[in-house]
Amino acid sequence: MKLFDYQEDLVNKMVSNLDNYGCCVNFSSMGLGKSAMSINLMLEHPVENTLLVVPASIINSWVIELNKFANFKIHIYSRHSRIRHLEDADIVIASYDLLYLRKTKDSEAALQSTIHDIYFDRIFMDENQLVKNSSAKRYQSACLLKGDQKILLSGTPISANSDASTKKELNNYCALLGIDSETFKQIYLRKTVEDISDDMPKVIYKNKEIIISDEHADFITQLTSRAEDNNNNNWIEYIRDKFINCGIPEQEFNNLIFNSNGLVRFNRSRYLLSSPNMFIDYLNKHLITLNPDILEMEKIQRFDTNHLNKLNNLKRIIKRGNKYLIICNFIDELDMVYDMLYSAGYNIAKIDGRVSADDRTNIIKSSRFNINELFGGNTKLSALPFDIQERIYKNHLQVDIIVANLATVCVGLNFEHFDNLIMYSLPSSYINYTQAMARIVRKSSKFEKVNIYNMFYKDTIEEDILIKHNAKTERYRNLDNIIADFG
């Protein structure tokens, strides 16, 4: 397993820290190969049993990577795992949320499960920002894991909200590792994209400021201000009439929209209002829940796509023959984007919680090909008529566009063969935002430059979020100094 020079240097320092302190942290930027470094450490400095704790969405990716380099005996931990399964394995892989037991009708909640009965020689915690909150059960359960050596891996270890929150999160990591702040500063390791910029693709940011259509703006204004007039396009009156016509009391409508926990007042509603069709779909689902006999004709009408400027801008960005990873926050939003592009004849697939891990892997594999790589050169396939080549490529092998739910792809997955990432809706979490961008900004990318599009409606919460994310990016650039001052 060949590493780059900076990776070899980091592995050597990780090994030294394990020997001296029994723990280490590698907080290098995403895309610099922390997984490769960890596997190299496993191969060059083997132990009898290893526990690898990771987000559930990337367990399959870790198995594939591990099997590339060695014949490890791997056990994927589940609620049905027994001690003998864990003892027989070279590497046990567990998701963070399976460490502790939730309360069920047959059992009580507990912070410890079968996996806590084993003493591991080495414990890796990948994407360890998932255990930075000491009040969370996954953190409390992770602290109870027994092991000789512990390794934390993350490209986004802190929330970067404030000095106070950062100090608290770093103290939580110290408690997790069983060390003090001075030791933490000794074992802290980090390489950034800037440190090896010559070997990384250049990132071109293309922030797409979108002006809301008059119809959309009117919709937002009326919902958020309780505007009431006699205009035939008054959305408040229109939606209220639908509820009342379906036999639902007006108070139910007011509770849903206007109360302190209603959609308009609740923070997430500001995202919904940036995607009015998603908001309307939610209302229609609510109508059906309250009145299962509702007729199709009685549902609230969705916006005509001509009035949804973000969708129209998306169509203008995409060029046939290029590769695009499109990230959406919500499932309804993802379906809306997918349906539009699929109807336009693009070779497109979607990845979300409804797609199995194996199918996700197959979709990503299919997206790696292009027609020249498959049929070029002196091969039997190149002798096929072009129209047959095109048909094979389109119907069986090619995925040019993946539209994905943020939660399923923001950590761990590798889209190095894509040179365009479109953030169709901006996540409120800065960690998720940077993790998503790192799917294509990778050391292993074959591209000299990659494009990242941030799509946001002007004068909405989306613009506010982008401004906050840019400020946090500056804070992350100062992480070395933050750690140096930690104590």
Q: Is residue 486 part of a domain?
A: no
Question: Are 82 and 177 contained in the same domain?
Answer: yes
- The whole-number pLDDT of residue 355 equals 86
Return all residues near 231 (Cβ < 8 A) that are at least 6 apart.
none
Residue ending a domain, among 240, 271, 305, is 305
Q: What is the CATH number of the domain that holds 87?
A: 3.40.50.10810
* 408 lies in some domain: yes
Q: Are residues 464 and 337 in the same domain?
A: yes
Tell whether 448 is covered by a domain: yes
Q: Summarize the chain as % helix, strand, coil (round to 5).
A: 50, 15, 35
Q: Which tens digits make up the pLDDT trace of 439-479?
A: 888 877 888 899 999 999 887 778 888 998 888 888 888 89
How would residue 420 be classed by pLDDT, with cut points 50, 70 and 90? very high
* 125-150 pLDDT tens trace: 999 999 999 999 999 999 999 999 99
Mean pLDDT (the chain, rounded): 84
Q: For residue 266, what pLDDT is reported?
A: 44
| 314 lies in some domain | no
Q: What are the phi and psi torsion angles at 204 (to 5°)?
A: -105, 110
Claim to verify: residue 224 and residue 181 sit in the same structural domain: no
Q: Can you give the pLDDT at residue 274?
A: 67
DSSP reduced 3-state for 389: helix
Checking if the pLDDT of 411 tops 90, the result is no
* Mean pLDDT confidence for 298-317: 82
What would the mean pLDDT of 356-381 be, rounded to a whole number?
70
Rounded CA separation 403/255 (Å): 34
The total of other beta-carbon atoms located within 10 Å of residue 305's CB is: 14
Residues 54 and 184 in one domain: yes
- Residues 159, 267 share a domain: no
Q: What is the pLDDT of residue 386?
A: 64
Which residue range is the domain that position 288 belongs to? 214-305
In terms of domains, do 173 and 222 share one? no
Residue type, 423: M
- pLDDT bracket for residue 267 (50, 70, 90): very low
Task: Place 329 in a pLDDT band, splitting at 50, 70 and 90.
Answer: confident
- pLDDT beyond 60 at 110: yes
Q: Examine residue 164 and state whether it is found in any structural domain, yes or no.
A: yes
- How confident is the model over 203-255, as pLDDT tens digits? 899 989 888 888 877 777 776 655 444 454 577 777 888 888 878 888 887 77
Higher pLDDT among residues 50 and 263, named by residue:
50
| pLDDT over 60 (residue 325) | yes
**Chain mean position to CA 476:** 19
Q: What percent of the chain has pLDDT over 70?
A: 86
What pLDDT is recorded for position 230?
46
Tell me, yes or no, whether 196 lies in a domain: no
Q: Which residue has the tokens 């100094």?
A: 481
Domain final residue pick, 134, 156, 191: 191
295 and 352 in a single domain? The answer is: no
- Do residues 88 and 107 share a domain? yes
pTM of the model: 0.71
Sign for the CA dihedral angle at 389, 390, 395, 401 comes to positive
Average pLDDT over residues 21-34: 92
Q: In the prediction, which pLDDT does 353 show?
A: 86
The confidence band for 75, taking pLDDT boundaries of 50, 70 and 90, is very high
Query: Are 179 and 294 in the same domain?
Result: no
Question: DSSP code of 440?
Answer: T
Indicate the number of domains in the chain. 3
State whether 292 and 324 are in the same domain.
no
* Contact call for residues 332 and 281 (beta carbons, < 8 A): yes
CB proximity list for 422: less than 8 A, separation 6 or greater: 314, 317, 324, 325, 326, 327, 453, 455
Burial label for 209, CB within 10 Å (0-12, 13-18, 19+), is: middle
Bridge partners of residue 207, in order along the sequence: 454
Query: Can you say how many angstroms the Cα of residue 291 is from the centroid of all Cα atoms in its chain?
Result: 35
**Neighbouring C-beta atoms of residue 291, cutoff 10 Å:** 14
User: What is the number of residues in the chain?
Assistant: 487
What's 356's DSSP letter?
-
For the cut 50, the answer to whether the pLDDT of residue 291 exceeds it is yes
Query: How confident is the model at residue 141, as a pLDDT?
Result: 95
Most confident of the ranges 101-105, 365-369, 408-412, 427-431 = 427-431
Whether residue 482 is predicted with pLDDT greater than 70 in this model: the reply is: yes
Q: Are residue 18 and residue 65 in the same domain, yes or no?
A: yes
Q: Does 483 reside within a domain?
A: no
pLDDT reported for residue 96: 94
CATH number at residue 419: 3.40.50.300
How is the beta sheet containing 91-95 ordered, strand by strand? 74-76, 91-95, 50-54, 119-126, 146-153, 23-26, 188-189
Give CA–CA dist 472/127, Å, rounded. Answer: 19
